[in-house]
Structures are given as C-alpha cells and as structure tokens.
Amino acid sequence: MDIFILTWNVQKGRNYLIDLHRILRENKADTVYIALQEAHNFIIPWAIQKLFLNFFFKAYKYRETERFCGLVTIILSKYRIWTSNTFVPLPNLYFSKGAIVTNLTINYTNILLVNLHLQHGVGHEALRINQMKRIVRSVEGHFSYIFVCGDFNTRVDVKKIRTSFDLDEFGMLSNLYTKICQKRSRNVTADKEWMNTYNTCMEKFKKADQMNAFKLIFCLDEFDVRFLPSYKYHTATDAYNLRQTPSWCDRILFKTVNELECMLYRSDTLIATSDHKPVMAQFWIRDGFELKSMNKVAKRVYSSFYMGHTVRFIYNNFILVLITLIFVLQHFFIELRGRFSAGDQAV
C-alpha cells in the first residue's frame, strides 16, 4: 500500500487549499495524509469543506478532517479507515503550538500519525525536546508504523560550524534548482551535477542541524534529505530571507517494525504562498492484507516443500520404506492375534 505524506506550515495563508490541489492532483497514492500548521483560516463550514474534498479528491472515498491550535489534519484514503485523535496542547503556547496524534487503522494495520508544531528559535532546542517528550507521553498502543511530521522548528546552529561559510550559498543553490526545474528535459548528468553541488555546499550546514540530536534522542529515522531548507523564504518568492539562517524546519520522520520503502522525499519550491515550502514523502508499506496473503503463501510453500520432500524420500528409499511397513504391519497383526486369543481363553 502506498501512503503519501505532506507537511506544510501555511503561515495563515488563504489560498493553500488551491495549492494543495495543485500538489496532489497527479498523485495516485492509496492513502494521503496532509499535516498543516498555522492554518488558522481553516474555519470552513463542514458542508463547504465536504464539498471541497468531494470536488478535488473524488478518487478517495474515505475522508477525515481534524483541527486543533492552528493544526489541520486531513486523511484521504481509497480504503475504509478508522481513526481516533488525541490533542496535545503545549504549556504557555495555547492556540499557537501543539500536536494532533492520530491512531489510524487501515487494512488491519495500525499506523500512528503525528502532526506537530514546536517552539521556534535557535536557542530553544531544550524546550523543543521537552515538548516532544510531552507528545510522546500521550501515545498509547502498539503500531506497525509511526510517522511524525510537521514544523519541528529545528534550526541550523551556525555556532557549531567550524569552517567558513556564506549564507549566499543558499541563494545560489535556490537559483540553480529553479533553473533545473524550469528546464523541460532533465538528464542524469544534470541531476548528478546538482547533487554534487548540493552536497558540497550543504554538508557543513547539515552537520550543524539541531535535528541530528533530536532524532537520536527519540530514536526516529529519516531518509536522506536532498532538498533545500524549507524555511525561511520571502513570501510569494523563491528567495531566502537571510535575516535568519535557512533551516530544514519541516521534516517527515518515521519508526517501523515492518518493511518500509521510501519512493519520494522532497520539497516543492514552486509553491510560494508561505515563508515555508511544503515537504512531502511517499512510502510503500506492507499492510495487514498483504501480510495475511504472505502467510497463506508461506504455508502453501512450506506444505508443498514438506510434501515434496516426503515423496522424494520414499522414492529414493523404497525398499527400506517397504521393509519398515511390512515390519509394522506384522507387529500389528501379532498384537491383534494375541488380544483375540486372550479373549477366547477368558470366555
């Protein structure tokens, strides 16, 4: 089963629903999970909201929407779903920061989905860790897959960079990536050149990313980040606001006990209605139906294996098996005759 996850801090924007449609109109995943932050304008009457979902996402029969503290969670699925939500407010940050923790059951698979928005500021790393601990304490149950996404507000701490750096490198890379995206034809050479340039320029900033310690503390995993920092842009442009160090604030982390494959992990730099860029990922997960079918196939394989092994043994050792069978039958008839003799004597 494919699951598409999108996280985006919309910065109180008004046109983000249209942008969501633009992002998702060509998506064909089985289930879509949308996590929005600072969506305070998502005060839409339920009838209009339902009409919007029906019109733009006709392929998804089952839909769920939840709101809390500027957070909006939207779940779209082609399969029947069951959800239960837990709302986690953060002390002194009511109506501004918090988390929506969703227990999603689909195809006999329990999935935990977390949409969060943590404290901002490069100097509040310890506070963000405490807020995450508060969110973790609200989780109950056992899950095959855990996805944690949102605006973590983890920043690049330039004080940890020991080599010389220039923030203009972010602008240079942004312009280069925009030119690559605008080209109609992309080839392997251009992509390779882009990745080499990206790794050379971003390596020192990635090492100073506060998310590195965050993932270690909470034992969360993440696929390789190969996109530009999603924050902070000038609104309605593709240019970074260099008054703050550009950072990978918006992330999608996961934890799993079952098989998981990441087919996509990137940001969409063409959306410019917020100072954040949306970040998206697409995963292939093994749901309960697939596990059941695998178990049935495995049982058939095992039974056919043992049956074939038994037939092969009898064929290769026919005389030995025949002698053993004769001996067993002889022993059985002798025992049976002895019982009949004992019965006649008793009579």
Residue 2 has φ and ψ, to the nearest 5°, of -95, 135
- Of 110-124, 180-194, 219-233, 299-313, least confident by mean pLDDT is 299-313
Q: Tell me what pLDDT residue 297 has.
A: 47
* Low-confidence winner among 23-32, 68-77, 173-182, 335-344 (lowest mean pLDDT): 335-344
When pLDDT is averaged across residues 83-104 and rounded to a whole number, the result is: 89
DSSP 241: -
Q: What is the mean pLDDT of residues 45-65?
A: 72
Q: What is the pLDDT of residues 183-242, one digit of tens each?
A: 655 566 777 777 888 888 888 899 999 999 999 999 999 999 999 999 999 988 888 998
Of 107-116, 175-184, 263-272, the least confident: 175-184
Amino acid in position 114: V
Say how many CA atoms lie within 13 Å of 331 toward its Cβ.
Answer: 6
Q: What is the pLDDT of residue 295?
A: 52
Greater confidence, 19 or 209?
A: 209
Q: Is it the case that residue 306 has pLDDT exceeding 60?
A: no
Read off the pLDDT of each residue in 245-272 and give the average, rounded to a whole number. Answer: 92
Please tell me the pTM assigned to this model: 0.80
Higher pLDDT, residue 278 or 344: 278
| Alpha helices, H only, the chain | 16-24, 46-56, 125-137, 168-182, 188-207, 211-218, 288-316, 318-346
Average pLDDT of the chain, as a whole number: 83
CA distances in angstroms from 335 to 88, 230, 310, 325, 344, listed in the order given: 76, 85, 28, 15, 15
Most confident of 19-28, 51-60, 255-264, 321-330: 255-264
Instruction: List pLDDT tens digits, range 311-321.
Output: 666 666 767 76
Say what the pLDDT of residue 87 is. 95
